[in-house]
Every structure is written in C-alpha cells, then in structure tokens.
C-alpha cells in the first residue's frame, strides 16, 4: 500500500483576485520560492488578459496552481490545515506568529478584502504592521513579505 506524500510546501491562497498584474507577480514569486498557489474563483480578469501575460512572462505553470470554485470548496479542502488570513483588520502582527510548514496564507481581493464569512472561517488573522494613516500595501508585496517569513521560520 502506498501513501501520497503530503505537500509540505508553503501555500498562498488568493480570494477572488481582481488585478491581473498582482496575480501575475504573485505567480512569479510562488514559482521562484517554491510555494503552491491556490486561487479561489471567480477572478476579476481573464488569464488571457495582456496585462497579466506581460507580468507573468514564462512563469505560468497552470499545473502548479490549484483553483477552487468557491470559498466553501476551499475551506472544505483545508479542514486538516490552518488557514491564516492576512488582513488589515487583524490585531496580531505576523511577527508575533509561529508558522507551520503546511499553513495556507490567505489574501483577500485588492478592492474589497474578504467577506465576514471568510473572516470567521480562518484559523488565524494576521496583519503587517504599517505606519499610521496608511491603508494597505500592494497585494504582491504583502505576499512576498509573509511568504519570506514563513519560509524563514520553517526553513523550507
């Protein structure tokens, strides 16, 4: 009897991304750092969008991207794993958190974050501390910061 080896690489999940250039940049980051990318649909753009293609270049490996048709499907698949929502509404900083190898870091839509239902389903909520009176960082930048910290902590 054989057992499937669990995927212990870091995982980045995007909730209904709506800016093609950000998603393309995140695909490149995940490809270069060995992270699995998961996309909760629907996306606010088509993967044939020329803005997306210009940024993603030759890093688009669709077999390394997992698509979910809804947040319900995503959370059903994640029952045995921690989902860490990265949000400006969190109290705890990512610098105060101990990441595990199999955590999934979930990022919301650029335009609207995630709905309250998704907030409630996440195991943890973390923020990136910023200076006063700043709303948010670019999504691709935020992914890079959190992914680097998870890799640093788990030595992936």
Q: What is the pLDDT of residue 150?
A: 96
Q: What is the pLDDT of residue 7?
A: 57
Strands 36-40 and 65-68: parallel
Spatial distance between the Cα atoms of 51 and 69, rounded to a whole number of angstroms: 23
Q: What is the pLDDT of residue 49?
A: 72
The SS3 call for residue 38 is strand
101-113 burial: b if 16+ Cβ within 10 Å, else e? bbbbbbbbbbeeb
CA distances from 62 to 81, 100, 108, 149 (A): 23, 25, 21, 25
Spatial distance between the Cα atoms of 32 and 9, rounded to a whole number of angstroms: 12
Task: Sketch out the chain's domains with CATH numbers.
Answer: 11-154 (3.40.1280.10)
Within 8 A by CB and 6+ apart from 47, the residues are: 60
Q: What is the pLDDT of residue 107?
A: 98
On whether the CB atoms of residues 74 and 40 are closer than 8 A, the answer is: yes
E strand spans, 69-116: 83-86, 104-107
Spatial distance between the Cα atoms of 105 and 147, rounded to a whole number of angstroms: 8
The SS3 call for residue 114 is coil
For the chain, which residues score pLDDT lower than 50?
A: 1-5
């Amino acid at each position: 009897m054989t057992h499937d080896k669990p995927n212990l690489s870091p995982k980045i999940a995007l909730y209904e991304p709506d800016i093609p250039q950000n998603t393309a940049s995140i695909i490149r980051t995940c490809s270069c750092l060995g992270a699995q990318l998961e996309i909760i649909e629907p996306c606010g753009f088509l993967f044939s969008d020329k803005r997306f293609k210009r940024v993603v270049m030759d890093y688009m490996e669709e077999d390394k991207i997992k698509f979910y048709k809804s947040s319900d499907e995503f959370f059903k698949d994640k029952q045995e794993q921690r989902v860490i929502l990265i949000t400006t509404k969190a109290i705890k900083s990512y610098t105060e958190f101990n990441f595990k190898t199999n955590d999934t870091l979930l990022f919301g839509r650029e335009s609207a974050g995630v709905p309250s239902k998704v907030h409630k389903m996440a195991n943890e909520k973390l923020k990136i501390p910023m200076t006063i009176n700043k709303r948010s960082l670019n999504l691709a930048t935020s992914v890079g910061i959190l992914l680097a910290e998870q890799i640093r902590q788990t030595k992936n």
